[in-house]
Amino acid sequence: MSLLRKKMKTSVFFVLFLIFILISPAYVSAKRNVLEIERLYTDSLDRTWEDISLLYDNHFHNSSQVQEEIDRFHDLVPELIEMEVIGQTFWGKNITSLCITNEIRTQQKAKTLVVSHHHGREQITVEAALRFIIYLLNSYGVNDTITEFIDTQEIYVIPSLNLDALDIVVDGENYWLRKNVRPHDDDGDLFLDEDPREDVTGDGVVSCFDVYLKTVGEPLYLYTYFEGIDNDSDGLINEDMIGYTDLNRNYDSYWRDGSGWSLDTQSDIFPGHSPFSEPETSAFRDFTLNHSFAMSYSLHSGINTTFFTDKEDGWTEPTLYWNMVLDYRKILPPSFTQIYSGYGAEKSHIQKDSAILAGSWDTWMYFERDCLAPITFEIYHNASSDAPDVNVIVENNATHLIIEFKDIYGYFTPDKEYINNLWYDILPGFDYLLDNTPRLDIYVEEVSAGLMKDDEIFLSFKCTNLSPRIRTIDTVNVFTKEGTFLSVGKQILAGEVKTIDVVFDLPYDLINNSYEVKIGNEYIGYYHFLIKEKTKGVSIGISLSIIGVIIISCLHYFFRKRKK
């Protein structure tokens, strides 16, 4: 009986040995036929800088101080800032764009834009742009949400598009100047800009006077004139002032073919002699032609409001813009709930009396650059500028009413000690811009393929659009690393999840090699994946086989010895 049991044990061990020998090669072979796909991530940077503050806080910057600030930003945090001179102003000042992003990741990312200061007298917008840059730099590595935005987006900021006018407003205290500084002989006397508006009364401001005709009911507005003297002795005043083109009417979209412009060269809304005639707007055009923005801001002041683009019968994107209106009402202070272009809580989603704004930034961005939400973000208005003690009745006779307006500075610009308070009020609007820039979260659901040249590869990408409001604009497609098209995908709506499949043939063997593909488009950026042989299971399989053989051999030897 004992001998029989020994023989049975020996037989069992030999059977196990044979099974191990048979299974091991199959196990190795199966593992060698499997691919793995790896998302190529770039880690966040290790923060090495202290919090940054402005050199000139509680202060309105002139052009040289703006340049000093942004040079310092770049010197202190070069890892997050790429600076680019996109052109020059009429007087030759550099117009600079700053791209805030994790520069270690060189793959193209989702893009967003803030362009500030089309209009000279709206210098508060320059201050907002500078503080936005500081907010991003100081939040990196501290605020997880902002860190993620900077890691996955290219955030472009142009602090001032109208630097020449900025100097005249800030240094020269010409608070009426809206346009750029190109000189023009408005009165045809062969002299340029020789008869500007001036403070005649010596009270420190240049007043304007609105003239009304008294009628039954409300007075009828006729025209406006300003303080000034006859500098050129032609019997007229203020007929050749500084400033020529309204940069926000100089874009080549419905130029001189919509609303809100004037043929009068002295008008604040004169659109220039041709589209992109001004170096400032042509610089912005050339810069923007190299980028695709799904959502962007142009900062202005004068009212607390948010303008959206119009078509002939209303907003270009009625549902989207209405939802954004409701969002802004939740995140901005009550003073910012006046949302223009004819919409309000009590109004319908179709505006019947709108007209396209001629030659404006947002019109061009929407119709020519396919920016879905180019938002004119008006960040300041001082209600006290409309108070009775500011608007003084200087004439009230039987036929006419003349009202003097003094507070042009306060209308567009707060006192300097309130700049930072205003920034904190509008900051949620900038977080909103970053959050709504469309970008993807991608999970690879399925991978099947061979490993050899010309084997068919099948990949299935599960894509989630992280923007709560903005769609991906274009379809999300799959490409080789070099940009060769592999598969057409789908447009993905805000917050939507879609699966995008791709099938292609391997151009070369993947044994000890890899193949890179990317998925995305110009608006959301591109997400890179590495396809390679899954080798980890192979080494484990071989090791187990060897160990199994050794163990069985030892056991067999042990029992044979005991048998003897």
Question: Cβ atoms within 10 A of the Cβ of 334, count?
Answer: 8
Q: What is the 3-state secondary structure (H, E, C) of 278-303?
A: CHHHHHHHHHHCCCCCCEEEEEECCC
Contact 225, 276 (CB under 8 A): no
* pLDDT tens profile 435-476: 999 999 999 987 777 788 999 999 999 999 999 999 999 999
Rounded CA separation 553/481 (Å)? 51
Rounded CA separation 84/70 (Å)? 11
Confidence band, pLDDT 50/70/90 cuts, at residue 333:
confident
* pLDDT tens profile 216-272: 888 999 988 888 887 777 777 766 678 899 999 999 999 999 899 999 998 999 999
Written as six digits, the tokens of 539 are 């080494």
Confidence band, pLDDT 50/70/90 cuts, at residue 409:
confident
For the residues 528-536, what does the mean pLDDT come to? 81
Rounded CA separation 336/426 (Å)? 9
Nearest to 196 by CA among 261, 150, 243, 235: 243
pLDDT of residue 381: 83
Contact 266, 287 (CB under 8 A): no
* Three-state SS at 113: strand
Sequence-ordered alpha helix ranges (H) in 33-80 = 63-76
* Total-model pTM: 0.85
Rounded CA separation 373/112 (Å)? 11
**Secondary structure (DSSP) of 396-446:** E-SSEEEEEE--HHHHH---GGGHHHHHHHHHHHHHHHHHHS--EEEEEEE
Between CA 11 and CA 14, with CA 12 as vertex, the angle to 5 degrees is 65
CA distances from 558 to 10, 448, 554 (A): 10, 46, 6
User: Which of 189-193, 387-391, 515-519 has the least mean pLDDT?
Assistant: 387-391
Question: Cβ atoms within 10 A of the Cβ of 498, count?
Answer: 17
Is the pLDDT higher at 398 or at 294?
Answer: 294
Q: Which amino acid is at 515?
A: Y
User: Which of 112-116, 122-126, 196-200, 388-392 has the least mean pLDDT?
Assistant: 388-392
**Secondary structure (DSSP) of 472-509:** -SS-EEEEETT--EEEEEE---TT-EEEEEEEEE-SS-
pLDDT of residue 242: 86
For the residues 97-116, what does the mean pLDDT come to? 94
Confidence band, pLDDT 50/70/90 cuts, at residue 205:
confident
Sheet strand arrangement including 373-379:
81-88, 94-100, 153-158, 110-116, 295-300, 373-379, 304-307
The per-residue pLDDT of the chain, averaged, comes to 85
- Number of helices and strands in the chain (H, E): 11, 21
Cβ-based neighbours of 231, under 8 Å, separated by 6 or more? 194, 195, 196
347 pLDDT exceeds 70? no
Question: Cβ atoms within 10 A of the Cβ of 157, count?
Answer: 23
CA distances from 450 to 312, 404, 462, 479 (A): 56, 82, 22, 19
Taken in order 334, 339, 340, 346, the sign of the CA dihedral is: negative
CA distances from 63 to 160, 168, 212 (A): 8, 10, 39
pLDDT of residue 15: 52
* pLDDT tens profile 238-247: 666 788 999 9
Contact 95, 116 (CB under 8 A): no
Residue-wise burial string across 169-188, b where 16 or more C-beta atoms lie within 10 A, e elsewhere = bbeeebbbbbbbbbebebbe
Q: Which amino acid is at 225?
A: Y
Rounded CA separation 261/268 (Å)? 9
* Three-state SS at 133: helix
